[in-house]
Amino acid sequence: MRTCLTRLALVIASAPYATDTKPAERNKMTIDNDLLRRIADTLDRLAPAAAPQSDLDATDAFVWHADFDRLEPVPSVNRVAFGLLKGIDHQADLLLDNTRRFASALPANNALLWGARGSGKSSLVKAVHAEVNRATPHALALVEIHREDIGSLPRLLQILRDGGRRCILFCDDLSFDDSADTSYKSLKAVLEGGIEGRPDNVIFYATSNRRHLMPRDMIDNERSTAINPSEATEEKVSLSDRFGLWLGFHNCDQETFFAMIAGYVAHYRLKVGEAQWRAEAVEWSMTRGSRSGRVAWQYIQDLAGRLGQRLAERE
């Protein structure tokens, strides 16, 4: 809008005088043209700067900012080393194999990692990305899109398509709570069924606490109030069907919880005896009412702080 007004003001300001214009009218036109030029200059100053071109080769990880259509480089990703992920060996092997195939330009599936909170879903996505790039530097870019920006997916995919680099498009904690939320339709068209679909150089990984990306009471409510209950939820539930790879995550048992902590203790060379950290870990998990990778890491942070030891970069 501002650009159009600016151009209009400049056109009017630069219009030639008629040869038969009277001096008084000509003076008035001069004043008007000066005013229009000032308006044009003001609009130019107010107009937002053009969005910078996104360089997908700048680094290996980015965050998408939909308000500015910009990919912000992330120099250092907050992640856990692949080898430190315990109790999810099967899920890790499947996702790593799928990602390696994608990096090699072979057929691969979009992946939905669903299940218990704090069980390592997002950590696994970031660890797998790092593991593939460790073996083949710069093989893949990790691009994170926030749940609330799903509606901007078509614009983002155009940027990634033009960039040419192979990318993992990652959405953490994906879910749809409101029956009026239709942004999931953008995702459905991208994953499968749209005219364009997702670009060949992009794969989509999402994590969610829900297997079908929507709460059970919302599904039951739509079934009970619809003329045709099966059709009422088919459109939304079918979104999860667009993911060819489903990986379920569940709460771990105590031995797996201990294995997680033992791995961290050894990796960071924490100066603590096994008997001490085992007793503390049991108490720690009981106070939080669960055992998970997140709870294990929180205990390690507390332990390291009490020991006065720094946790080096998690590689």
Residue 43 has pLDDT above 90, yes or no: no
Rounded mean pLDDT of 110-119? 91
Cα gap 169→295, rounded to integer Å: 27
> Among all chains, which residue has been given the structure tokens 């990919």?
71
pLDDT at 230: 52
User: Residue 79 corresponds to which tokens in the numbers above?
Assistant: 């992640």
Burial class (CB in 10 A: 0-12, 13-18, 19+), 190: buried
Give the pLDDT confidence score for residue 193 in this predicted structure. Answer: 54
> Which pLDDT belongs to residue 53?
55
pLDDT greater at residue 304 or residue 211: 304
Question: Is there a contact between 211 and 241 (Cβ–Cβ < 8 Å)?
Answer: no
Residue 5 has pLDDT above 60, yes or no: no
Q: 145, 65 in Cβ contact below 8 A?
A: no
* CATH number listed for the domain at residues 61-249: 3.40.50.300
Angle (nearest 5°) at CA 205 between 89 and 196? 145
Between the ranges 177-181, 294-298, 308-312, where is the mean pLDDT highest?
Answer: 294-298
Give the per-residue pLDDT at 248: 93
Looking at per-residue pLDDT, the higher value among 256 and 222 belongs to 256
Q: What is the pTM of this model?
A: 0.75
Q: Does 16 have pLDDT greater than 60?
A: no
pLDDT at 223: 47
The pLDDT assigned to 278 comes to 96
pLDDT higher than threshold 60 for residue 233 = no
Rounded Cα distance, 277 and 300, in Å: 9
User: How confident is the model at residue 305, as a pLDDT?
Assistant: 96
Least confidently predicted of 111-115, 121-125, 212-216, 287-291: 212-216
Q: Supply the pLDDT for residue 41.
A: 72
Reported confidence tier of residue 187, pLDDT bands at 50, 70, 90? confident
Secondary structure of 234-293 as H, E, C letters: HHHHHHHHCCCEEEEECCCCHHHHHHHHHHHHHHCCCCCCHHHHHHHHHHHHHHHCCCCH
Residue 241 has pLDDT above 90, yes or no: no
Q: How confident is the model at residue 50 (pLDDT cuts 50, 70, 90)?
A: very low
The percentage of the chain sitting over the pLDDT mark of 70, rounded to a whole number, equals 71
Give pLDDT, residue 37. Answer: 73
Whether the pLDDT of residue 23 is over 80: the answer is no
**pLDDT at residue 179, as a whole number:** 57
- Band of the pLDDT at 232, cuts 50, 70, 90? very low
